[in-house]
């Protein structure tokens, strides 16, 4: 067999494997982002459930997932997704944040159905409408980290 055919075959195999690896990495990143968005949507649903039952939003992930919240089955965090949740002392407004394993932040607030996204926590909060003016008007301290 001609050695040039072997060399060309090896070169093509190398190109295909690099291209495939790039595609898998992109697919994985998209999946991680979808998990974070789904978590944030489930968190919003659970918060609305808590509000309907108790007349106030939960102020933390722990309070939301506690056995007495009445909505424990509505919100089960996805592994690899980091979260933050804050509500005002009256329980009338909240802000929630999720960070995908890939690093993208997503945020939402109780007064809007919009989900903001950005590469930084501050950017996602702003995109969701959780500005410092909104936080002041609603008596909420905006999250500075996720865990």
Q: Is 47 helix (H, G, I), strand (E, B) or coil?
A: helix
Is the pLDDT score of 113 beyond 50? Answer: yes
Averaged pLDDT, 115-120? 95
Containing domain of residue 29, as a range? 3-138
Kindly report the CATH number assigned to the domain that includes residue 42. Answer: 3.30.1300.70
Q: Residue 7 domain-assigned?
A: yes
**Distance of alpha carbon 142 from alpha carbon 124, whole angstroms:** 12
Bridging pattern class, strands 115-118 and 94-99: unpaired
Q: Residue 70 domain-assigned?
A: yes
Is the pLDDT score of 131 beyond 50? Answer: yes
**Distance of alpha carbon 39 from alpha carbon 90, whole angstroms:** 24
Count how many domains the chain has.
1
Q: Residue 59 domain-assigned?
A: yes
Contacts 24+ apart (CB under 8 A), 113-117: 115/37, 115/40, 115/41
The pair of three-digit structure tokens given for residue 32, joined into one six-digit string: 């991680």
- Structure confidence by residue, pLDDT tens digits, 34-56: 989 998 998 898 888 889 888 99
Q: Residue 147 domain-assigned?
A: no
């Amino acid at each position: 067999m001609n050695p040039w055919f072997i060399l060309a075959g090896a070169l093509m195999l190398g190109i295909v494997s690099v291209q495939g690896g790039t595609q898998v990495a992109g697919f994985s990143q998209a999946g991680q982002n979808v998990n974070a968005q789904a978590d944030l949507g489930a968190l919003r649903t659970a918060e609305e459930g808590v509000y309907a039952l108790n007349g106030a939003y939960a102020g933390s992930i722990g309070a939301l997932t506690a056995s007495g919240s009445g909505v424990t089955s509505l919100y089960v965090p996805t592994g690899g997704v980091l979260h933050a949740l804050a509500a005002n002392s009256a329980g009338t407004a909240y802000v929630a944040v999720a960070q995908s394993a890939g690093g993208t932040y997503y945020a939402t607030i109780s007064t809007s159905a919009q989900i903001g996204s950005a590469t930084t926590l501050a950017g996602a909060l702003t995109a969701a409408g959780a500005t410092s003016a909104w936080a002041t008007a609603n008596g909420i301290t905006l999250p500075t980290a996720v865990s």
